[in-house]
Amino acid sequence: MTSVTRTITKRKQSTKVAAPIVEALKKAYENPTYQFHIPGHTKGNGALPEFKSLIGRKALCVDTTDEFDNLGTLHPATGPIKEAQELAAKAFGAKKTFFLLNGSTAGNLALAMGLTKKGQKIITNRNCHRSVLTGMIISGAEPLWLIPNRFEDWGIWGNVSPESVEEMLHTHDDVSMVWITNPTYEGVVSDIKSIAAICKKYGVPLIVDEAHACLWNFNEHLPTSALHLGADAVVHSLHKTGGSMSQSSMLHIAHGSMLDVDAVEKALKLLHTTSPSLMLLASLDAARANLESPRGKKQLARAVANAKFLRREIDKMEHIHHLTPDFGYKTDITKVFIKADGLSGKRLESILEIDFNIEVESASDAGLLLLSNIGNKRSDIQYLVDSLKKIDETHYSDICHLENKKHMPMLTPIIEMSLREAFYSEKETIPKSQAIGRISAEVIAECPPGIAILLPGELITEAHMPYLNDYEFIEVIK
C-alpha cells in the first residue's frame, strides 16, 4: 500500500461511524440562511470580537438551537437528534437513550421527579451526588441511607455491599427504587450484578448513577456497565470522560427495564431548557461516534495502557501509593487515586500545581485523583510520572502537615426532619459557631465531589465542623 492510499484508508476509517447531528449541523453551516431568529448573536456577528476570536467564528456559526435548519427537536426527539439517540442506545446497549443538557444532574432529577412520589423511600448510598438529593427534594421522596464501606486509610468511601441493600429492602416497605452510585468518584466498583438480582427478587427497580463510567462499554479491561448487569436505568456524564462538551450527558433505559419511560420523558421535558444547544447535542453524537470508531478505541486502549504504566511506576516509588483492587471490590483502572506519606491530598495537589504545572481531577484529605483520559498522550503521563518521582525523592518536610479543613465527607447523618419538609421550612441564618445542635436547612455538598456534608433536616454536630471551615454562616430551621 502506498502512503497515499494508507492516508485515504485511515481517513475513511475515522469517518466511517455515522454521526447524524454532526452531519446535519455541518450541512446547516455550509448552507447559511438570512437569520431572523435566536440566538441573537446571529452566527457571531453580534458577539464581542475578543470572545469570537477566542472560540472561533465557526463555533458561533454552529451555535444554534433545535427549532431551525432541519436539525430535529429534542422534545419530542425528531430528525437527526432522534437518530443520534437511537445510535447511542445501540452503542451503549440500552433500549432507549435520552440526550441530556445540564449534565447527568438533569437525568437524576428526571428519574426522581418522574418515578417517585412524596413519602416514598429511595434506598441510596450516602455518598450519592447532590443531584439525587435535589431530585428527592423535588418529588418529596425520602432517602434510606446505605452506608458504604469506608476506606479509612484512603479517606474515601468504598463499595456498597449487596447484603446492605438486601437488609434495607427486607426491613422497609414502600421503597420506590434502589439508586447506587457506581463507581465512586475514585473508581471503586460495587457488585452491581448481585445488587440487581436482589432488587429483582424484591420487585424494586435499580438505578445506577454511572456518571463516571461512560467508557466501560468500549474497552474489555474496564468493568461492565450496569446496563448489562440488570439495572433499569443508568446515567452517563459523557462530558466527564467520554469526550463530549461540558454539561452533555446521557440517560439510558435498559432492555427489560421495569420503569415507566413515559414518566421519565415527561419529567425530562419539563426540566430541560426549551433552547437546547445543538453544539452540545452534536458533541454527544460525536463522542459516541468517536468511541465506536477505530480511532476512539485506540485512544481508550491508550488511556488504559497509560494508567497501567502510571500505576507500575508508582509501585516503584517509596512514599507514593495508589489505590488498587482488593478483596470485595474492583476498581476502574483509569481513575488513579494516590496518596503520599506525610502529605495531605490537598498539599500534594498544590505541589503538583505550583512546582509542576499539573492540574488533577480532585484532591481530598488523604489523597488525590488523577484521570488517565482518552485525550492524554503518553508524554503527558511520562511527565506526570517524572514529577511524582521528584516529589517521592524530595523532602517536602516544611509543609508536612494536614490541612485543618476536611474535604471528603464521611459522616453518618442524624435525621431529624424530612428532606423536603426541611427544605421548605422557615429558616434563619446563624453564625457557624452557634450551629451545633441545630437542624440544617441547606444542602451543603461542595464540588468536587458533590457529596453531602449536611442536608436539610439533619442535625448539625461537632463532627461537621472540620468540613465547614469556609462557611461563616449556616442556614438552619427556625
Ligand X SMILES: Cc1ncc(COP(=O)(O)O)c(C=O)c1O
Smallest gap, in angstroms, from Cβ of residue 92 to ligand X?
A: 16
Q: Please, which of residues 107-126 interact with ligand X by CB under 6 A? A: 108
190 binds ligand X (CB under 6 A): no
Nearer to ligand X, 39 or 448 (CB): 448
242 binds ligand X (CB under 6 A): no
Q: How many CB atoms lie within 10 A of CB 227?
A: 27
d(Cα 466, Cα 363) in Å, to the nearest integer? 16
Out of 64, 85, 97, 105, point to the residue binding ligand X (CB under 6 A): 105
| Closer by beta carbon to ligand X, 239 or else 427 | 239
- Span of 102-110, 280-288, 295-303, 388-396 interacting with ligand X by CB under 6 A: 102-110
Q: How far is the CB of 183 from ligand X (least distance, A)?
A: 9
Of the ranges 4-12, 103-111, 253-261, 417-425, which one interacts with ligand X (CB under 6 A)? 103-111
Binding string, 55-94, against ligand X, x = CB under 6 A? ----------------------------------------
From 100-108, 186-194, 337-345, 385-393, span contacting ligand X (CB under 6 A): 100-108
Q: Which of 187, 223, 276, 450 binds ligand X (CB under 6 A)?
A: 450
Among 134, 181, 299, 440, binds ligand X (CB under 6 A): 181
What is the nearest approach in angstroms of ligand X to the Cβ of residue 283? 13
Question: How many positions of this chain bind ligand X (CB under 6 A)?
Answer: 14
Q: Is 237 in the site for ligand X (CB under 6 A)?
A: yes
From candidates 96, 121, 129, 406, binder to ligand X by CB under 6 A: 129
* Residue with nearest beta carbon to ligand X: 103
Task: Work out which of 209, 232, 361, 365 binds ligand X, going by CB under 6 A.
Answer: 209
Q: Which stretch binds ligand X (CB under 6 A): 51-59, 99-107, 332-340, 420-428?
A: 99-107
Radius of gyration of the chain (CA): 24
Question: According to CB under 6 A, which residues from 420 to 439 bind ligand X?
Answer: none
Minimum Å gap between C-beta 99 and ligand X is: 12
The residue from 249, 257, 283, 344 that contacts ligand X (CB under 6 A) is 249
Task: Name residues whose C-beta falls within 8 Å of residue 243's C-beta, 6 or more positions apart in sequence.
Answer: 286, 287, 290, 291, 296, 374, 375
Q: Is 211 in the site for ligand X (CB under 6 A)?
A: yes
Stretch that binds ligand X, among 98-106, 199-207, 219-227, 303-311 (CB under 6 A): 98-106
Sites of contact with ligand X (CB under 6 A): 103-105, 108, 129, 131, 181, 185, 209, 211, 237, 249, 449-450
